[in-house]
Structure 1
Amino acid sequence: MNPANNSPDLPSVEKGAKSSLIYDTRFKSHYLLPKYWSTWILVLLLFVVSRLPASVQDTLSNKLGDLMRNSNKKRQHIARTNIELCFPELEAAKKEAILKNCFQHYVRSMLHYGLIWWGSKTQLKKRILIVGEENIERSLANNRAIIFMTAHSMGLEAAVSAITMRLPITGPFNPMKNKLIDWFVAKGRARHGTLIYTRDSGLRPIIKDVRAGCAMFYLPDEDLGKERCIFAPFFGQQKASVPVLGRLSKTCKADILPCISCYDEETRQYQVHVLPAIKDFPQGDDFEDTVLMNQSLESIIRICPSQYLWIMKMFKTRPDGAANLY
């Protein structure tokens, strides 16, 4: 089965959707108000940069990334702490290289929004390749739903774009403070057919879509606090982890395919690595499922460690009595 085609086995992305819960991607006149003018200038600059050769964009990303790292001591400290905690076996020079490249890839991911928002399908397919597409086809051939488990990596939007051009995708949208940036990000995801739900919609309509044949992306690496998390090992540390993936897999009868997108500076392309479905998952126990989930997260992060979002406070929530790591 070719997932790039709209086969009879995959229903329309509109099936099961409730329009009142879908994020509204229509342009609003208030986006033209003066408070958004500075954002429009940034968007214009982004558009101009997106027209530059990829080699020039990479050079610019590296320069601006170094500037960000040197000027934002808070984020530098958070990233360095995370890298030290997760890779104690690495030499100091290697850890510093991951830190430096992390900020460079972060800026690059921002500049590449131009490709995601305005690039044609031909451009996107040329710049974003899927590695392991046979793992997607295997799940489809077995009539299994698919949940792409990924992490907060720099190439996230590239992964979503590549998969969306091959499969109907559903998922939530977490808004930011700037509504105009929200609109551009949501519009960029929706233009290939992704169903984007508002935060207030909950998981019910998304689960309904997955059961109907849509795939979904799920990012379980964010620290959401003690009330919503349990502690499980992650890179040798106790991390507050959301114990939902096992239940989602069971409810949706879905295979969990670990997935991450990595940028190759030599080829100027993203490679979306789709790994085989997690074996023997779910186990039926929240802790055991979360341990397996975190192990899979580690595996995909290690594919391109410098392209993970180390500037997040991954270990913000601590077990009772444990010291603040930041």
Structure 2
Amino acid sequence: MHPRWWSTWLGIALMWLLARLPLRLQWWLGTGVGELAYWLIPKRRHITEVNIGLCFPELSAAEQRALVRHSFHSNGIGIMEIGLAWFRDPAAFQGVTTVHGLEHVHAALAEGKGALALGGHYSSLDLCGILARCRVDADVMQRDHNNPLLNAVMTRARERQDGIALSAKDLRGLLRQLRNNRLVWYATDQDYGRKDAVFAPFFGVPAASITTTSRIAARSGCKVLPFSHFRRQGSLGYDIYFHPPLENFPSGDDLADATLINQVIEREVRRHPEQYLWMHRRFKTRPDPQEPGFY
């Protein structure tokens, strides 16, 4: 209750209030939030423009600009959905949600060694993560927020459904949950620097890709199932996908494994490219340290 946290509490209260609004209105307001961000945050707009230019060179300049703008709109909706994920009963959205491929999860867990849900940073991440956990028990790996109060609220929300939220650095905890035959959400599609990374193509561009997934799978024997989720186009609702486990994984070749993971994520991103988090500097680390940066 110290005054230093009052602004955070105010933001949390605003999220709680906005979460009471109907879903259609949430999407409309989120689009407006994204439009404002498009004009008011030029640094993130520049990063998004560079990423989309690198990944979709086949698009015209006008098409790239439109995709950049739609990406901001989608991420604005994602901001609104965080409030829904944290403060609304997920049962309210089950009628507009379809989860595909649960048979792959059940088959993987039947082997008794746990499973990794290999996710990506799609803009509907928080809400669709909660909605998926309404259908299958799961834990989540998360990067802790720098604001400890906001982090506590986020963690509490993500642990509402008998799962646990593990720190992204807690690999021991992850392996423990896999030994307990749990499904754990895990994402590798960001640039974490050179440590434990290889440069594998992502949309044809060499990208620093961590090799931790291969080590986890080799050590635990778990299956790795690609996991994606998208807002529906043309109607109100969500589609969540669990895909068949990666074949011949790990292969013993870190570059081949990282390339396979990037191909799987790229395939899913191409389904709804505007719903991906292009604001992240995915190509920040270059193979040659002397090479000029893209950003």
Same fold by TM (over 0.5)? yes
Q: How does 1:312-323 map to 2 (within 5 A)?
A: 312-320=280-288, 321-323=290-292
Q: Is the 8 A contact 2:27 2:80 kept in 1?
A: no
Q: Aligned pair in 2 of structure 1 residues 199, 57: CA closer, same or farther (>3 Å)?
A: closer
Aligned with 2:98 (options 125, 129, 149): 129
Q: Aligned pair in 2 of structure 1 residues 142, 93: CA closer, same or farther (>3 Å)?
A: farther
CA distance, structure 2, for counterparts of residue 40 and residue 127 of structure 1: 31
Q: Is the 8 A contact 2:198 2:208 kept in 1?
A: yes
Query: Unaligned regions of 5+ residues in structure 2, if any?
Result: none
What CA deviation, in whole Å up to 9, does each residue of 1:178-226 have, x standing for no partner? Answer: 22211121111000112123456x3112112112211111111111111
Aligned with 1:238 (options 179, 186, 206): 206
CA distance, structure 2, for counterparts of residue 117 and residue 258 of structure 1: 24
Q: Aligned pair in 2 of structure 1 residues 227, 142: CA closer, same or farther (>3 Å)?
A: closer
**Could you say which residue in structure 2 is the equivalent of 1:170?**
139
Query: Unaligned regions of 5+ residues in structure 1, if any?
Result: 1-31
Residue 271 of structure 2 is aligned to residue 298 of structure 1: no
Q: What's the TM-score, normalizing by structure 2?
A: 0.93
Q: Aligned pair in 2 of structure 1 residues 300, 199: CA closer, same or farther (>3 Å)?
A: closer
Identity of aligned residues (%): 29
Q: Aligned pair in 2 of structure 1 residues 251, 167: CA closer, same or farther (>3 Å)?
A: farther
Q: Aligned pair in 2 of structure 1 residues 97, 182: CA closer, same or farther (>3 Å)?
A: same
CA distance, structure 2, for counterparts of residue 267 and residue 226 of structure 1: 42
User: Secondary structure at the residue paired with 1:218?
Assistant: strand
CA distance, structure 2, for counterparts of residue 313 and residue 132 of structure 1: 31
Q: Structure 1 segments of 4 or more deviating over 4 A? A: 141-144
How many matched pairs? Answer: 294
Residue 38 of structure 2 is aligned to residue 106 of structure 1: no
Q: How does 1:64-83 map to 2 (within 5 A)?
A: 64-83=33-52
Pairwise CA distance, 1:114: 2.2
Residue 227 of structure 2 is aligned to residue 259 of structure 1: yes
User: Secondary structure at the residue paired with 2:69?
Assistant: helix
Q: Is the 8 A contact 1:158 1:261 kept in 2?
A: no
Aligned with 1:43 (options 5, 12, 17): 12
**Could you say which residue in structure 2 is the equivalent of 1:119?**
88
Q: Is the 8 A contact 1:155 1:260 kept in 2?
A: no
CA distance, structure 2, for counterparts of residue 125 and residue 236 of structure 1: 37
Q: Is the 8 A contact 1:58 1:265 kept in 2?
A: no
- Report the AA paired with residue 78 of structure 1: I
User: Secondary structure at the residue paired with 2:199?
Assistant: strand
